[in-house]
């Protein structure tokens, strides 16, 4: 696996893939890699001859008081994991490479970015859309792979790619979970043993709500109430937010008569965890 940190080196490496007629897949990450990220790399390997992975902790998507400085970073360990997973190229730029002096562009994707996490974390999805647009413009992949755990982010990226007519296919891979159901996340490393034991209650509450739908409930208010009841069974989890939205538009629904996304965030100690399930329709 080759490792580069500058735009000219990145473009030169990708051009060498293109000269051989190879299809290029791209997996953007912020590092602190776990099995969920490596599953995205595996998905990329299945659909392309060459796999490019980026590691960049994007300051533009962290708000004031969020965990940018605390976010786990271990580039050497991450590079070894990617090498073992079969990635072909790692792009690990510094902040001034991604955002050179004078950088003045912000990408805003209206609609899908404005509710849910977008409303609770102002500017977050502008930061996501800006860095994704920049990375796609630098790598120019045939396909880019994202994870379902960040469902609203996926919707933002798909809208961005469609609206700008970018020649890239967006694939969304299923959430990878621990054996007890906890969605794999770099932030799981923040959890104490007691918090880690409590954290899977988030996924159990999502599944319990999905079951309520499967046995006949269609009203959003009743399903949201069922989720709140289920999550309250674990006192170490503090509910931060829960939304039931159209799975395509990210707009709230009053009843489940189409595919919907049930997405929730909880605080476990100092750590904020997110998860979701899709059902209906």
Cα 49 to Cα 59: distance, rounded to the nearest angstrom = 31
Please compute the mean of the pLDDT values over residues 190-204 and round it to a whole number. Answer: 97
Return the structure tokens found at 48. Answer: 């392309």
Residue 58 CA to residue 97 CA, distance in Å, equals: 12
Residue pair 246/258 in contact by the 8 Å Cβ criterion:
yes
CB atoms within 10 A of CB 9: 15
Q: What is the mean pLDDT of residues 231-251?
A: 97
Alpha carbon distance 278, 111 (integer Å)? 19
Distance CA 103, CA 3 (A): 25
- Mean pLDDT over 113-123 rounds to 95
Backbone phi, psi, residue 213, to 5°: -65, -45
* pLDDT value at residue 262: 98
Within 10 angstroms of residue 10's Cβ, the number of other Cβ atoms is 23
User: So what's the pLDDT on residue 229?
Assistant: 98
CB atoms within 10 A of CB 43: 21
The structure tokens listed for 208 are 């319990």
CA 134 to chain centre: 17
Tell me how far apart the alpha carbons of residues 187 and 67 are, in angstroms, rounded to a whole number: 10
Q: What is the 8-class DSSP label of residue 252?
A: B
Please say if the pLDDT value at position 146 is more than 90: yes
Task: Kindly give, in sequence order, each residue whose CB lies less than 8 Å from that of residue 66, ignoring residues fewer than 6 positions away.
Answer: 121
Residue 67 has pLDDT above 90, yes or no: no
Tokens of 261: 């996304």
Asked if residues 237 and 268 have their Cβ atoms less than 8 Å apart, the reply is yes
Q: Please report the pLDDT score of residue 155 as a whole number.
A: 97
Per-residue pLDDT reduced to its tens digit, 120-145: 999 999 999 999 999 999 999 999 99
For this structure, is 37 an active site residue? yes
Contact (CB, 8 A) for 198 and 212? no
* pLDDT one-digit tens code per residue, 150-161: 999 999 999 999
Q: Is the pLDDT at 281 greater than 80, yes or no? A: no
CB distance 281 to 264 below 8 Å: no
When pLDDT is cut at 50, 70 and 90, the band that residue 65 belongs to is confident
Chain position carrying tokens 């990708």: 14
pLDDT more than 90, % of the chain: 97
Catalytic residue among 34, 37, 108, 124: 37
Give the tens place of pLDDT for each residue, 7-63. 999 999 999 999 999 999 999 999 999 999 999 999 999 999 999 999 999 999 999
Dihedral angle of Cα 146, 272, 244, 116, to the nearest 10 degrees? -80
């Amino acid at each position: 696996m080759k490792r580069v940190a500058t735009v000219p080196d990145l473009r030169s490496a990708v051009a060498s893939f293109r000269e051989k007629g190879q299809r290029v897949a791209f997996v953007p990450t912020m590092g602190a890699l776990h099995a969920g990220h490596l599953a995205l790399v595996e998905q990329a390997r299945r659909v392309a001859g060459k796999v490019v992975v980026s590691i960049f902790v994007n300051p533009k998507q962290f708000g004031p008081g969020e965990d940018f400085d605390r976010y786990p970073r271990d580039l050497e360990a991450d590079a070894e994991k990617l090498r073992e997973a079969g990635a072909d190229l790692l792009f690990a730029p510094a902040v001034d490479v991604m955002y050179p002096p004078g950088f003045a562009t912000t990408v805003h994707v209206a609609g899908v970015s404005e509710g849910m996490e977008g409303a609770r974390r102002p500017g977050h999805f502008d930061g996501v859309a800006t860095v994704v647009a920049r990375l796609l413009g630098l790598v120019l992949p045939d396909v880019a792979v994202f994870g379902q755990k960040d469902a609203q982010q996926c919707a933002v990226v798909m809208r961005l790619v469609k609206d700008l007519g970018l020649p890239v296919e967006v694939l969304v891979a299923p959430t990878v979970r621990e054996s007890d159901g906890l969605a794999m996340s770099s932030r799981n490393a923040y959890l104490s043993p007691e918090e880690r034991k409590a954290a899977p209650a988030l996924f159990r509450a999502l599944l319990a709500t999905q079951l309520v739908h499967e046995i006949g409930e269609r009203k959003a208010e009743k399903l949201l109430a069922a989720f709140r009841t289920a999550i309250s069974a674990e006192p170490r989890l503090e509910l931060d937010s829960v939304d039931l939205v159209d799975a395509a538009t990210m707009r709230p629904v009053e009843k489940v008569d189409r595919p919907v996304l049930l997405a929730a965030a909880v605080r476990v100690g100092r750590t904020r965890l997110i998860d979701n399930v899709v059902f209906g329709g």
